[in-house]
Each structure stands twice: as C-alpha cells, then as structure tokens.
Amino acid sequence: MKLVPKHIAMIMDGNGRWAKKRLLPRAVGHVKGAANVRSVVQACTDQGVDYLTLFAFSTENWRRPEEEVSTLMDLFIQYLDKEVNEMKEAGIRFRIIGDRSAFTPTLQDRILRAEQETSHNSKLHLTIAANYGGKWDILNATHLWAVANPGVPVSSLEPAALDAYLSTAGLPDPDLLIRTGGESRMSNFLLWQMAYTELYFTDTFWPEFGASELESVIEWFGKRVRRFGKTDEQVLS
C-alpha cells in the first residue's frame, strides 16, 4: 500500500530563475508560479493528502524591490478572487499563516472572507504562509503564551504548550517538505514544526513542478524510515 504523507509543506521557489532562463521578466515567473498553485493543490487532493502548506512570502521577502513586492501582493489578491468559489466547491479549507497586519486592508479583507467562506470544509486543508517567518512564529507564540498565563514561570513552558499558540495550532506537523528551485535551505519557514519532517529538495523550478514529480516524491517519502530518535529495531517491531 502506498504511504501518503498526511501533511505536505512546500517552499515554492524558483519563479524568478524560471523566467530568467526564458529571458522574461521576473513578474512573468510569478504569474506562472501563482497559476501552478492550482494544479499542485489538485494533484495533492488526487493523491489523498489532507494538509498542504505553501510558503508564498517570507518576512524577509519585503527586502525585494518595491515593484516586485507589489506584483506579488497583486497576484495574491487575484488568486483569492479567482479561487475562493472553486475552493468552496472542492471542499478546501483555506487558511493564512503569518503576520497579516502588514497587508493592505483590501488584502486582509479578502483573506478573512476566504477563510470564513471555506471554514466548514475539510477535504483538503490548504494553508498559505504569507509574511511568514519561523522565528516570528516562535516568538509570537511565546508572547501569546505569556499573556495567557500571567504569573506562570517561563521555566514551566513545555513544547506541547507552545504548539497551541503557534500560527499552525490545530494542524499536524508536516510529514514531508518539498522545496523547488534547487536550494537546500529552510529560509525561515516552519522551523519549529519541521523538527522531524522528511526534507526533499528538487532542482525543478516552481512553475514546472507538477503531478508526476509529486507522485515520485511521495514514493520517495514512502521509503523513509521515520525513527523519531528510536532505533530501527524499535521502529520495525
């Protein structure tokens, strides 16, 4: 029987280089990349994945030229406008993780609407990480914990208690991370949540990542022995 990861996280990298290779502006790469989200979501549904978390914009991506940042924000709004009805019908539950207070009121409003309108769905939990940083998430969770537990000494804080205050509260930790675009790094994605995630790095640029490669990565995942600190013998018995 095929072992399908319950939760896949993806770092959608390589839009700019995809465009550069074709002598096109980076913005075209982002348009192609945004369009590819839909087919990857479909491919994950087809494979029986329950949770998909996509890294769309990091807390460090504000450092890019203003024009590129604004292209990415526009694409985000367009994506929401175009996909919400589809998601509603396809049974997709949509969520955003990250500090949304930095977004324009229009974008914040669209996000809230998409989250509310899909909140009863559960076929696929689609989470987009936008203005997200793993360090932000951990610090933010610690602050929220402190506010919720006045007078409780910090020394009593346990990992499981922090889980409840992370932006991913309620989502299982990712079983598999796929990063497209050839880099082998985390770039401040789900640092806490991926302590035991299987990591897969592919040279394929995000706009070209599709169903058949996803299937072979899932096959690769099925061959991993997840020991969580134990020995082979313990795990296999």
Which residues are annotated as catalytic?
Answer: 13, 61
Nearest distance from residue 72's CB to Mg ion, in Å? 12
Count of alpha carbons within 13 Å of 231, Cβ hemisphere only? 3
Mark the segment that binds ligand IPE (CB under 6 A) among 41-49, 181-189, 194-202, 225-233. 181-189
**Span 3-62, contacts to Mg ion by CB under 5 A:** 13
161 vs 186, beta carbon nearer Mg ion: 186
Q: Which of residues 24-43 bind ligand IPE (CB under 6 A)?
A: none
Name every residue whose Cβ is closer than 8 Å to that of residue 168 and which is 6 or more positions away in sequence.
Answer: 53, 97, 127, 137, 190, 193
Residue 185 as a binder of ligand IPE (CB under 6 A): the answer is yes
The rounded distance, in Å, linking the Cα atoms of 204 and 11 is 12
Q: Which of 201, 162, 198 is nearest to 183 (CA)?
A: 201
Selected binder of ligand IPE within 5, 7, 13, 217 (CB under 6 A): 13
Helix (H) or strand (E) holding 224: none
Backbone angles phi, psi at 77, to 5 degrees: -60, -45
Using CB under 6 A, pick the residue from 131, 181, 194, 218 that binds ligand IPE: 181
Taking the complex as a whole, the smallest distance from the CB of residue 236 to ligand IPE amounts, in Å, to: 36
Q: How far apart are CA 85 and CA 118, in angstroms?
A: 9
* 173 contacts 197 by C-beta, under 8 angstroms: yes
Closest residue to Mg ion: CB criterion: 13
Question: Does the protein bind ligand IPE through residue 17 (CB under 6 A)?
Answer: yes
- Does 190 bind ligand IPE (CB under 6 A)? Our answer is no
* Smallest gap from residue 30 Cβ to Mg ion (A): 11
6 contributes a contact to ligand IPE by CB under 6 A: no
In terms of CB distance, is 48 or 62 closer to ligand IPE?
62
Asked if 92 touches ligand IPE (CB under 6 A), the answer is no
Q: Are 157 and 145 in contact (CB under 8 A)?
A: yes
**Residues from 51 through 80 that contact ligand IPE (CB under 6 A):** 55-58, 61, 72
Question: Which residues neighbour 74 within 8 Å (Cβ) at sequence distance 6 or greater?
Answer: none
DSSP-derived secondary structure for 117-156: HTTT--SEEEEEEEEE-HHHHHHHHHHHHHHHSTT--GGG
| Interacting residue ranges for ligand IPE, rule: CB under 6 A | 11-17, 55-58, 61, 72, 181, 183, 185, 187
| Interacting residue ranges for Mg ion, rule: CB under 5 A | 13
